[in-house]
Amino acid sequence: MKPRIGVLTSGGDCPGLNAVLRGVVLAAEKLGWEVIGFRDGFEGLLPPGDHIVLDRKSIDGIMALGGTIIGTTNRGHFIAKVGAGDRAVVPGEVIARAREILNKLGIQSLIIIGGDGSMTTALQLQEAGINCIGVPKTIDNDLEATAMTFGFDSAVDVVMDALDRLHTTATSHKRVMVVEVMGRHAGWIALHGGIAGGADIILIPEIPFDYNKIAAAIKERDARGNLGSLVVVAEGARSKDGQQVKREMEGGEFRLGGIGEIVAQEIAKRTGKQTRCCILGHLQRGGAPTTLDRILGTRFGVKAVQLANEGHFGSMVSYQNYQVRHVPIADAVNRLRLVPPNGEMVQTARDVEISFGD
Ligand code: F6P
């Protein structure tokens, strides 16, 4: 029997996951290994073991596909996170059942493609003696241990495209268009998407805002003769005296969202201008990956197989200084990378007359 390696995709989907899977399969086949893909994240590891053999044929043409061909979930038996920073323990009995399946299938190591929560689970599997390699994934781009995650560039592209479209309707109607974007506790998607799409105001979690300052910035634009204004609001943004707007609890964490509508109402109240809110939501997670995400995903997948081949278990692929390297998963979890409020990106945005409402 050929040596076997397992792979699963866990947490929220994002463009580029299939590029990673393709990279894993082709690099593994080159070594003469067989790849077993577990369905629906860690859940596929539970008896009877929901899996498929991933070979050349199964990955043919998947590079351009969003989502993941083996499915994913951010719920289930392996949830190891209960909110930002908190760590829950995956029951030993659940890990034992997963190990039983891996042993039965003759799988020597497992590649886990996921975000911070999934890496927290990966760490627990590794600590329990299952050979794990992590591949970081999130559109939020908020993991300290890697300079970039695939999925982010595709999400930013969606925001930029939306702003391009909303710009024309904003100017035609002389309206304020408020666009709510994802990103959880980090403002990266809002900041990058906002700069690329020519936003006038960007509101991010790292810089609490003041409604009066936002209104003043819009009035100033009006006075200068600008016809419309574009406001990008990260879902995790909050006013100086307010809280993040949360929806229901799911998968061990609160879903964020709803701040866009509130910001739109407050702007209308303070400026008297017609204001509309557009929530981009899961549009940011769908569709074909950008060039950058296809390449990054491929490099991450190939690197994960190399790490398994070299026996670097317990490590996570990481992008640093334009190189794909690796770091211990233990050093990567629970470390969020947020937008530095006084950093170069924010300063650049301010220099092109973008207001942060502060
Ligand atoms: O972490 C990725 C992300 O898309 C966040 O930006 C967002 O808050 C969350 O996932 C949404 O999760 P769900 O798909 O469970 O609604």
Per-residue pLDDT of 267-289, as tens digits, reads 999 999 999 999 999 999 999 99
Q: Is the pLDDT of residue 76 over 70?
A: yes
Question: Within a 10 A sphere around the Cβ of 104, how many other Cβ atoms?
Answer: 11
Domains with residue ranges and CATH for the chain: 4-150+289-332 (3.40.50.450), 155-285 (3.40.50.460)
143 in Cβ contact with 225 (< 8 Å): no
Q: Is 151 in the pocket of ligand 1 (CB under 6 A)?
A: no
User: Ligand 1 pocket: which of 13, 17, 116, 139 to mutate (most atoms <8 Å of CB)?
Assistant: 139
Q: What is the pLDDT of residue 74?
A: 86
Quick one: which atom of ligand 1 is closest to the CA of 285? 4
Q: Work out the pLDDT band at 96, boundaries 50, 70, 90.
A: very high
Q: Is the pLDDT of residue 239 over 80?
A: yes
More confident: 77 or 315: 315
With CA atoms as reference, report the closest residue to 148 among 273, 276, 323.
323
DSSP 81: B
Cα of 351 vs centre of ligand 1, distance in Å, is 31
Q: What is the pLDDT of residue 250?
A: 74
Q: Is the pLDDT of residue 75 over 90?
A: no
Cα of 171 vs centre of ligand 1, distance in Å, is 31
Atom 11, ligand 1: residue with shortest CA distance: 255
Q: What is the pLDDT of residue 274?
A: 97
Quick one: which atom of ligand 1 is closest to the CA of 184? 8
Cα of 236 vs centre of ligand 1, distance in Å, is 11
Q: What is the pLDDT of residue 78?
A: 87
Cα of 268 vs centre of ligand 1, distance in Å, is 28
SS3 of residue 90 by DSSP? coil
Neighbour-count burial for 243-263, b at 16+ CB within 10 Å, e otherwise: ebbeeeeebbbbebbbbbbbb
Q: Is 12 in the pocket of ligand 1 (CB under 6 A)?
A: yes
pLDDT in tens, 119-137: 999 999 999 999 999 999 9
Quick one: which atom of ligand 1 is closest to the CA of 250? 15
Q: What percent of the chain has pLDDT over 70?
A: 97
Q: Is the pLDDT of residue 247 over 70?
A: yes
179 in Cβ contact with 210 (< 8 Å): no
Average pLDDT, the chain: 95
Q: Work out the pLDDT band at 82, boundaries 50, 70, 90.
A: low
Q: Is 255 in the pocket of ligand 1 (CB under 6 A)?
A: yes
Supply the residues annotated as catalytic: 140
SS3 of residue 164 by DSSP? helix
User: Ligand 1 pocket: which of 72, 79, 140 to mutate (most atoms <8 Å of CB)?
Assistant: 140
Residue 109 burial (C-beta neighbours within 10 Å; 0-12, 13-18, 19+): buried
- What is the DSSP pairing of strand 323-328 with strand 34-38? unpaired
Q: Is 193 in the pocket of ligand 1 (CB under 6 A)?
A: no
Amino acid at 341: P
* DSSP class per residue in 230-271: EEEEETT--BTTS---EEEEETTEEEE--HHHHHHHHHHHHH
Amino acid at 215: A
Q: Is 160 in the pocket of ligand 1 (CB under 6 A)?
A: no
Q: Is 28 in the pocket of ligand 1 (CB under 6 A)?
A: no
Q: Work out the pLDDT band at 173, boundaries 50, 70, 90.
A: very high
pLDDT in tens, 205-221: 999 999 999 999 999 99
pLDDT in tens, 19-71: 999 999 999 999 999 999 999 999 999 999 999 999 999 999 999 999 999 99
Q: What is the pLDDT of residue 87?
A: 66
Report the half-sphere exposure of 205 (CA within 13 A, side-chain side): 23
Atom 10, ligand 1: residue with shortest CA distance: 12
SS3 of residue 27 by DSSP? helix
User: Ligand 1 pocket: which of 285, 336, 337, 338 to mutate (most atoms <8 Å of CB)?
Assistant: 285
Q: What is the pLDDT of residue 307?
A: 98
Q: Is the pLDDT of residue 79 over 90?
A: no
Among 246-250, 266-270, 285-289, 324-328, name the one with the lowest average pLDDT.
246-250
Q: Is 184 in the pocket of ligand 1 (CB under 6 A)?
A: yes
The whole-angstrom separation of Cα 110 and Cα 284 is: 28
Q: Work out the pLDDT band at 248, boundaries 50, 70, 90.
A: confident
